[in-house]
Structure 1
């Protein structure tokens, strides 16, 4: 436990992952063709060099992804009191058919709950929903929040159900998602937006562009779908938390405001796009002090929460230190490190008081 935390608020990392090997086994056994197609798509998107290096990284960090004792030791070293744990986004499996997709979501929800229960004074969790099947998302959300007691769910930036981003794509602006957004708002559930994969595919298959460019690009696209389609007008109390500082959008929002001003097709939201940045929450994982200051300036200090992307190599090994050295006002840094998480109800599972509506 972080003995240097203020007595008012624990330090909370809202972006940390756990690997659930049993999910991959379930997929491989029940849809081997779909799983093989996904693996081929990942090679096409990432390139063989990045796939090989990522495999070595996962092997090296396997204890951090799966072993509780190692995680708690690392949290102490990072001065993090509480982690909000979500499944590795490699577990989205958006190619899965209806029955398998719902099975996987519920299996993931139970697995995260079991992991959290092993250290309820240090962890809380998020589950999964099948974005490729909008009509099943409420059942999976209810399972995550009401049955498993998790704080919400993690979703990708889009779901290409055929494995081909040009076909059967579900964007976050899709009207079929409205019942899900409504239910998430009713439950006060966190919806953690974390991209995995990019529709640019093999254009990013070298130099690790499939991560360094695709993740912030996908965040920007997905958030723009939410904003411009009016989702945040219809569900103003929705708790959307965007990974990677929201990608390219928050600090280049002026172009979106210009489009809203001059283009009729961009005026389906009630207010300029920049105003919605103060309704969305963002993690602090931008890898740059000046960029973190710019994010806080763009969104307001009440919208940014500590995030590390533990334990992946593109995360931060010193997330608390990076916030302290970013040049934020002391009060703003305190909000990022824990105050904003507390305001959102993100606490250790042992301390959480979760309202569970029955409607």
Structure 2
């Protein structure tokens, strides 16, 4: 396969039908207004969710999903949930039920369209120190997850989810425009300086949205490692020496930024990401990569070779 997308959102039909039936009504329900369906989340006040989203058929209709692949000139995609389906804030038992149904539905889609789709599962992160619920990825309670992923050779796709500290970004869609890249940069930095990669050297993390602000401030982390007592001595190596475990998708919305990303991380550490089907995505990912002037061999790695290797599809 020449072009494979790692950042392709779906809502499995079985999960959507369960929400329609009220299976998870304490966390989410679908309401009908003037002939249109809306998703309504019953989340705590400190969780930033888009209020009353219209149900988007492009997330669940298999015909539209396949059309989305074709329109973007994608041979295949690694399909997974969007942040609205993470439910890290839900009761742990409910979160586990939601994740299980979501994963079963993703697996069913991937099985039905094995030549075009591969499934990315979601984890109910409420337990393990509840680190996903407003805490940080270097929390000790999450180490078993990272250790298991490293042992299995299973890459983890890291997608941001905004929390209470992002209240200042509620206006102007800034929770997405600025909040998502900020969250990603913070998560990547904590994975490195918090010692997760040091303890799990085989761990592979794929960052959404071009890695957020992280790839462009690696030098700042290295400088801080040299001069700041909070960092110096915590790690045996500079932060930049842990980049071998970090991969990024191509969703930068800017060809020079993407070229910098490829040059900084290496052409073997960047993969296609479109953020299907959302308006903040990239509808022409192949053209985006080719606009960077990487040359045929480097392009081939970014377009599909790297993800084929990471997901062991070849």
Same fold flag (TM > 0.5) = yes
Match of 2:24 in 1: 27
Does 2:124 match 1:159? no
Change in Cα spacing, 1:319 to 1:23, as seen in structure 2 (3 Å) is farther
Match of 1:127 among 121, 137, 153: 121
In the comparison of the two structures, how many residue pairs are matched? 298
Query: Secondary structure at the residue paired with 2:135?
Result: strand
Equivalent runs, 1:10-25 vs 2, <5 Å: 10-19=2-11, 20-22=15-17, 24=19, 25=22
**What is the aligned partner in structure 1 of residue 32 from structure 2?**
none
Does 1:90 pair with 2:84? yes
Higher helix share: 1
Structure 1 residue corresponding to 2:57, chosen from 53, 63, 78: 63
RMSD: 2.3
Q: What residue is the counterpart of 1:332 in the other structure?
A: 298
Match of 1:305 among 247, 250, 271: 271
Alignment of 1:223-262 (within 5 A): 223-262=188-227
Structure-2 separation of matches of 1:133 and 1:23:
24
* CA 328–199 in structure 1, closer or farther in 2 if over 3 Å, else same: farther
TM, length-normalised to structure 2: 0.87
Counterparts in 2 of 1:135 and 1:115: CA distance versus 1, 3 Å: farther
Offset, 1:97: 2.0
Q: Say whether residues 1:264 and 2:229 are aligned partners.
A: yes
Q: Structure 1 residue 247: deviation in Å? A: 0.4
Can you list the C-alpha shifts for 1:278-330, whole angstroms capped at 9, x where unaligned? 32111011110000011112111110001101111101111111111122233
1:108 is aligned to 102
3-state SS of the aligned residue for 2:261?
helix
Paired residue secondary structure (2:262): helix
CA distance in 2: counterparts of 1:27 and 1:301, whole angstroms: 43
> Cα 1:30–1:78, aligned 2, differ >3 Å: closer, same or farther?
closer
Instruction: Please say if 1:99 is aligned against 2:93.
Output: yes
Question: Does the 8 Å CA contact 2:247/2:269 hold for their aligned counterparts?
Answer: yes
1:29 CA drift (Å): 4.3
State the shift of 1:179 in Å.
Answer: 1.2
1: CA distance, partners of 2:312 / 2:184:
22
- Conservation of the 8 A alpha-carbon contact between 1:198 and 1:215: no
TM-score normalised over the length of structure 1: 0.77
Q: What 5-or-longer segments of structure 2 have no aligned partner?
A: 30-39
5+ residue gaps, structure 1: 1-8, 137-157, 161-168, 353-359
Instruction: Assess, with a 3 A threshold, how the Cα gap between structure 1 residues 298 and 199 changes in structure 2: closer, same or farther.
Output: farther
Tell me how far 1:335 sits from its aligned partner: 0.7
CA distance in 1, matches of 2:287, 2:18: 34
SS of the aligned residue for 2:80 comes to strand
Per-residue CA deviation, residues 135-182 of structure 1 (Å, 9 max, x unaligned), is 79xxxxxxxxxxxxxxxxxxxxx622xxxxxxxx43100011111111
In 1, Cα distance between equivalents of 2:217 and 2:245: 17
Deviation at 1:30, TM superposition (A): 6.8
2:34 aligns with none
**Which residue is equivalent to 1:152?**
none
